[in-house]
Structure 1
Amino acid sequence: MKPWLRKSLAGVGLVVVVAAAVVWALNRRGEAPIREDVTFTPTPQQIERGRYLAQVGNCIACHTTRGGAPFAGGRGIETPFGTIYASNLTPDAETGLGRWTPDHFWRAMHNGRSRDGRLLYPAFPYPNYTLVTREDADALFAYLQSLPPVRQENRPHALRFPYNTQAALAVWRALFFSPGEFQPQAGKSAQWNRGAYLTRGLGHCTACHGARNFLGATSGGLELGGGLIPMQNWYAPSLAAAHEASVADWDEADVVRLLKTGVNRRASVMGPMAEVVFRSTQYLSDEDAHAMAVFLKDLPQAPLPAPRDEPIRRDAQQMALGGRIYEEHCAQCHGKQGEGAAGGYPALAGNRAVTMPVPANLIRVVLSGGYPPSTAGNPRPYGMPPFSHLLSDVEVAAVTTYIRGAWGNDAEPVSHFDVHHYRRGGR
């Protein structure tokens, strides 16, 4: 072998070794030794605290299959890289957490590692859960250990290469994950900091309300700045933009009511957020709901879009078709002028959910229907039936374009290509 080639290969090998060492070191940040022989005897108060925190984190939503035992895992979570299956959190010794210690659970929450040291995929949102305090992690573990054990083998993930390798996951973590802990912000009230802790940590709100890069990591400089939820066809609107879903100018009581009931005098939740309210936020204590409201109202706001230089051009034939479809299928509930019916059907005129730049949610509601959650504060919500079986892509585009351009609304038209995109999965 020629000397220059030998030196080049040696140099490449050195770079690879150094890079591997850096990745290994970055993936070991913040890890404490694991104590295997700890006796854990939780108190009833700790178990009850953990039960509440499990609701705040909406753990049951991912770790329970339809009709399956609670927290026994098995639910498939689709991602752009394949399907990840949630694990069994019951205290079964063979398939669940029965042989885990509080240290193992803390490491999973704080560092994203399983009991055997394997790196966990961030579909389990440890980039958020790393902010959870040790006290709260121990309470969660206490609650999970109090559940009836269910023997249910964990399903292997179905991910494409190279995403199914620990090496690729280690590189992802080195690039995008750093373990941390919640630090109260000086100059803010205890209530604001409690809201920030819940929203950024167990609530993992950025998992939906944040943009993601091509490797699935949350990105963007604006906190809770909105993003399309991968594989679900729904857009989680920006909570920091007045033209999307900011609550900065709302009364605190209205924010609390939306979190706890799914509806208020200004809005209602549907799609993935309806499940969050149903399984999680309706159970918030009044104190925690108000704390989250205080934090959300205080988010830094994005600037409003610049005024358009020219008016939006709409096709007259498409608007006419949309008007006829609206009259036939929508006006009976939402009113001839989009005024809605108080306490029942939302107004469409002046509705931010209708005029958002991303039309995904309006299209999804027309195609699949819209159903606010049934909650203690709103046990019999009004719903909207699906129209995917009645309306073609062209017709859905026409009626959504009409709604986005009538009664003073002034949003971009929707094309039948947009409808086709979201009908087939938004992929």
Structure 2
Amino acid sequence: MQSNRPLGLPRMIAGVIGVVVVVGAAAGFAVAWRPAIAAIELPAPSSFDPALVKRGRELAAIGNCNDCHTVKGGGSFAGGLPVQTPFGTIYSSNITPDVQTGIGRWPEEAFRRAMRSGVNRDGQHLYPTFPYDHFTNVSDEDDAALYAFLMTRPPVDAPPRANRLSFPLDQRFVIAGWKLLFLRRGLYQPDSTRSAEWNRGAYLGEGLAHCGACHTPRNGLGAERSNAQFAGGDVDNWQAFALNKQSPAPVPWDAEALYVYLRQGFHPDHGTARGPMAEVVSNLSSVNESDVRAIAIYMADVFGAPSIDDRKRGEAVLAQARSPAPLTLDSNVNAAGASIYAAACATCHETGRALPYGGVNLALSTALSSPDPRNAINIVLSGIRPVEGERSPIMPGFAASMNDGQIATLLQFLRDRFSNQPPWSGVEKMVADARQSQPVLLQTSSGSHDAPRESMRREKR
């Protein structure tokens, strides 16, 4: 039976498909390709204005750059810190001015492109563990100060470690597609209806400090969910608490409390910064007070004014904290947990002693009021190390002296006694999981920087 189809039709279809493929490949190349920027000779440190370097030092502290680019036993800013993401492990890069393995031959133009667009001097796309989706907000002047600071650091010969990513994510051109979907370019635009302090805080909090990188949940492709900004995130097996109306804090935050907490790492009505947040406040303690206060003012606005009910609940919690009920071993609730608390915790938490030997009143603990018990688990396991030179809280860890069941029983008692929230579920398994990562917890608690980062954030690649 003879076909009526023209003999040239298959050839025409094949030609059209070929054209589509070629055009698609050309478009993909155009999207992914970025030119290299010519290398320069290493500038002399004396060529940078000391005032600019000093400002860059403060900006680097606000950006927490050292904690993502320094591993224990390595040189400052020399990279090599592993970031364990859902897609594999990515290692931070060397941002010292070493001419072979660092950024010593990068002109300022290349540094600014990396900050704004996530592309290195050679034209390679950088993985978004480096938060250029926030750094696109940073001004030319602040980029120049950061560049001056980094280019005057001691150079460290530290070759990059190979990332461990599966195909096709190990191909950097794939990141170009991620950027098309999620990278929004453009400098911060001040809000004329707001104060200068609020705008300064927004510029820093949304930009260099990249608060949302930890405190915003992420989608399946590792990008921050724009419809859930500051609703809480996961970082290094810790929960980064929500910083908006969803905050589990028993006492509502205000700008003054945030300022004290960010500056000192502790507030008597809210507790102590632990985990990755301890690194953040350690850096913020060294920067200009006005910048920290501006961030606090902006973040207080993100939290929003508490409702009348929230304010009343906070006042009731504070009253309870000032006049705690005597400890009783009530067999109708959790006698085993109460007994562990009486033996291991009450000596510090029930005596009303001043810091550092008196424990924080646990009715004020956000960790115990949170829907996620991980932070409370981590603190019980690894304790709280003292902050050098400050009257900060201290607490021993109980990883070696309590088994998983005892810690879970204790935590359920604490949850029942010190919060008005329902019991947690699956606590014992979560304790066991956290214990498996105990070396990470201990290193995070002690402030060293070679623990893996289990997130898509804060990493300069």
Category of TM-score, reference length = shorter chain: 0.7 to 0.9
Structure 2: gaps (5+ residues): 1-6, 311-330, 439-453, 455-461
TM-score (norm 1): 0.84
Structure 1 residues without counterparts, runs of 5 or longer: 308-315
Residues 1:330 and 2:341 are matched in the alignment: no
Q: Structure 1 residue 152: deviation in Å? A: 1.9
Please say which of residues 401-410 and 288-297 is displaced more in the overlay: 401-410
Separation in 1 of the partners of 2:432 and 2:14?
51
* Residue 174 of structure 1: how far off its partner (Å): 2.1
Which of 384, 391, 403 is the matching residue for 1:392? 403
Aligned to 2:297: 294
2:340 partner letter: I
Larger radius of gyration: 2
Aligned positions of 1:209-248 closer than 5 A: 209-229=215-235, 232-241=236-245, 243-245=247-249
Q: Quick one: distance in 2 between partners of 1:259 and 1:133?
A: 23
CA offsets 1:339-383 (integer angstroms, 9 cap, x no match) = 864533111124332111111101111122233644x6xx24232
| Corresponding residue for residue 311 of structure 1 | none
Q: State yes or no: 1:365 paired with 2:379.
A: yes
CA distance, structure 1, for counterparts of residue 305 and residue 429 of structure 2 = 29
Which secondary structure state, in structure 1, belongs to the residue aligned with residue 84 of structure 2? strand
User: Residue 257 of structure 2 aligns with which residue?
Assistant: 254
Distance 1:66 1:18, change over 3 A: same
Aligned-pair Cα RMSD in Å: 3.3
Query: Of 101, 104, 115, which residue of structure 2 is paired with 1:109?
Result: 115
- Indicate the structure whose relative CO is greater, using CA pairs within 8 Å and at least 6 residues apart: 2
**Aligned to 1:78, what secondary structure does the other structure show?**
strand
1:21-36 aligned within 5 A: none
For residue 442 of structure 2, what is the aligned residue in structure 1? none
SS at match of 1:349: helix
Is 1:147 aligned with 2:153?
A: yes
Pick from 404, 411, 415: which aligns with 2:415?
404
| 2:70 maps to 1:64 | yes
Residue 207 of structure 1: which of 213, 218, 223 is its match? 213
**What is the CA distance between 1:318 and its match in structure 2?**
7.7
Alignment of 1:139-178 (within 5 A): 139-178=145-184
Between the two proteins, what is the percent identity of the paired residues?
39
Counterpart CA distance in 1 for 2:306 and 2:226 is: 15
Give the Cα separation in 1 of the matches to 2:174 and 2:239: 28
> Deviation of residue 148 (structure 1)?
2.0
Q: Which residue in the other structure is 2:128 paired with?
A: 122
What SS does structure 2 have at the residue aligned with 1:164?
coil
| Residue 384 of structure 1, CA deviation | 1.6
By how many angstroms is 1:420 displaced? 2.7
1:256–1:290 Cα contact (<8 Å) kept: yes
CA distance in 1 between counterparts of 2:251 and 2:421 reads: 21
Displacement of 1:33: 9.7
> 1:33 and 1:99, CA in 2 relative to 1: closer, same or farther beyond 3 A?
closer
- Post-superposition shift, 1:196? 0.6
Secondary structure in 1 aligned to 2:227? coil
Are 1:262 and 1:372, in contact at CA under 8 Å, matched by a contact in 2? no
SS at match of 1:84: strand
User: Residues 271 and 407 of structure 1: is their aligned pair in 2 closer, same or farther, counting only changes over 3 Å?
Assistant: closer
The counterpart of 1:263, out of the listed 262, 266, 278, is: 266
| 1:259 counterpart letter in structure 2 | L
The alpha-carbon distance between structure 1 residues 248 and 400, as it changes in their structure 2 partners (threshold 3 A), is closer
